[in-house]
Amino acid sequence: MARRDKLLLSSSAQERAVRRLKRFQIEVPSWGFANTGTRFGKFSQDAAAVDLGDKFADAGITHQFTGMTPSVAVHVLWDFPGGFDKSVVTLARKHGVRIGAINPNLFQDQCYKFGSVCNSDARIRRRAVKHMLDSIEIGRQAKSEHLSLWFADGANYPGQADIRRRKKWATSALQKAHKTMPRNMTMLVEYKPFEPAAYFTDFFDWGSSYLFAKAAGPRAKVLVDTGHHLLGCNIEQIVAWLIDEKMLGGFHFNDRKYADDDLTVGSIDPYQAFRIFNEIVAYEWETGRDLDIAYTIDQSHNVKPKVQATIQTVCMVQELFAKAMIVDRKALAASQASQDTVGSEEILRRAFLTDVTPLLKVVRKAMKVPADPLSAYRASGYEQQAAVQRKAKRKALGLSEGGSYA
């Protein structure tokens, strides 16, 4: 069993940590509260959100118990099938949250079978660009600061597509979108090495997203999804390089065992997430300023109850960020300078193995939220009440027991 070191911080160090942790926020995804599934099937939950109001309510209760999730990432097709108007902003506000990143859907329509912005059919490329422009307009009305882009574009077989031509088409589409964005909006360009395409994806790693973002314009940056990497990939090195290049725009946080598993953060490898936060905190410690990063959860749970899983992840992210904050930076720099490999590793391990519960209790008390958000939520009765109400709502609307993905 791993040892749990005691937390030893000076009063000034604790004050700095508390102030930073109070500023730390993470965005929750609207799709994380709805019934979802795999390509094999869907398993419904009575308490899963039926409509956008339910999603905002679940996001609001998550924020109420954690104090860390004031914004909700939305998916244009799933959340606004009938169109968008300002009433959506009012609805979010009613539940104590605001609209965050705008996510266009460029992968679900039948016309995107062979790609969206990389499709060889110019009419489909124009349709994809128009959807991005429409999404930007939604963001403008919602006062969103981020346009979050993920493309399923790719090919399944050698010879199926012209790789260089597809790169040019994608670049052109991103440039058109960037030109239309309001000045307060940042474009986040995600990547994924495989799935659904098997032979290649057009946005396949951090380097491709970096090149696309640089070509798109000065307000485009890279989005790192922690589940979108080949096994064994050193994600913290990618994060460090993007920080140094001033091109790290945001995260989609989840955990995985094999591929894009969308598991709760820390459920498989909490040390990896800690090492990622260590790179972020190291930069902030050196410069004395917070990095401007869009921290977002990207998970869709098929087994765990939706809100409980979200609160689990939010609390784990906060805990791992706190652990990164207690790394002895001066001792680590000295150890690295003397080329003490074991000593340097032990400084990181010591911080990771330290129980930061006392620090988090101070932070949560200052934020006026429960010391143990998950336990408090489980005892609140919210989930049981939501299950009854939403089961009745599905019946009244004539929906199937599982509802819909959106």
SS3 of 13-50: the string is HHHHHHHHHHHCCCEEEHHHHECCEECCEECCCCCCEC
Whether residue 60 lies inside any domain: the answer is: yes
Cα–Cα nearest to 68, from 380, 241, 383, 313:
313
The pLDDT of 262-272, averaged and rounded, is 97
Cβ–Cβ contacts within 10 Å for residue 405, how many?
Answer: 15
Model confidence at 163, pLDDT cuts 50, 70, 90, reads: very high
Whether residue 6 lies inside any domain: the answer is: no
Domain boundaries, position 147: 23-396
The pLDDT of 293-298, averaged and rounded, is 98
Whether residue 349 lies inside any domain: the answer is: yes
Whether residue 386 lies inside any domain: the answer is: yes
By percentage, how much of the chain surpasses pLDDT 70?
97
Q: Are 26 and 36 in contact (CB under 8 A)?
A: no
Whether residue 271 lies inside any domain: the answer is: yes
Tell me: pLDDT of 10 over 90: no
Q: Are 50 and 395 in contact (CB under 8 A)?
A: no
- Up-side HSE of residue 376: CA atoms within 13 Å toward CB? 15
Q: Are 333 and 138 in contact (CB under 8 A)?
A: no
Q: CATH number for the domain including 103? A: 3.20.20.150
Q: Are 190 and 209 in contact (CB under 8 A)?
A: yes
H-type alpha helices, 245-327: 270-287, 306-325
What integer pLDDT is reported at residue 41 of this predicted model?
77
What integer pLDDT is reported at residue 168 of this predicted model?
98
Whether residue 8 lies inside any domain: the answer is: no
Q: What's the pTM value of the predicted model, to 2 decimals?
A: 0.95
Model confidence at 405, pLDDT cuts 50, 70, 90, reads: very low
Whether residue 207 lies inside any domain: the answer is: yes
Model confidence at 403, pLDDT cuts 50, 70, 90, reads: very low
Whether residue 405 lies inside any domain: the answer is: no
By percentage, how much of the chain surpasses pLDDT 90?
91
Which H/E stretch holds residue 148? strand 146-149
Tell me: pLDDT of 144 over 80: yes
The pLDDT of 267-283, averaged and rounded, is 98
Dihedral sign computed on CA atoms, order 78, 84, 86, 87 = negative
Number of domains within the chain: 1
Token pair belonging to 276? 């990622």
The pLDDT of 307-319, averaged and rounded, is 98
What integer pLDDT is reported at residue 1 of this predicted model?
41
Tell me: pLDDT of 247 over 70: yes
At 21-47, the pLDDT tens digits run 999 999 999 999 999 877 777 789 999
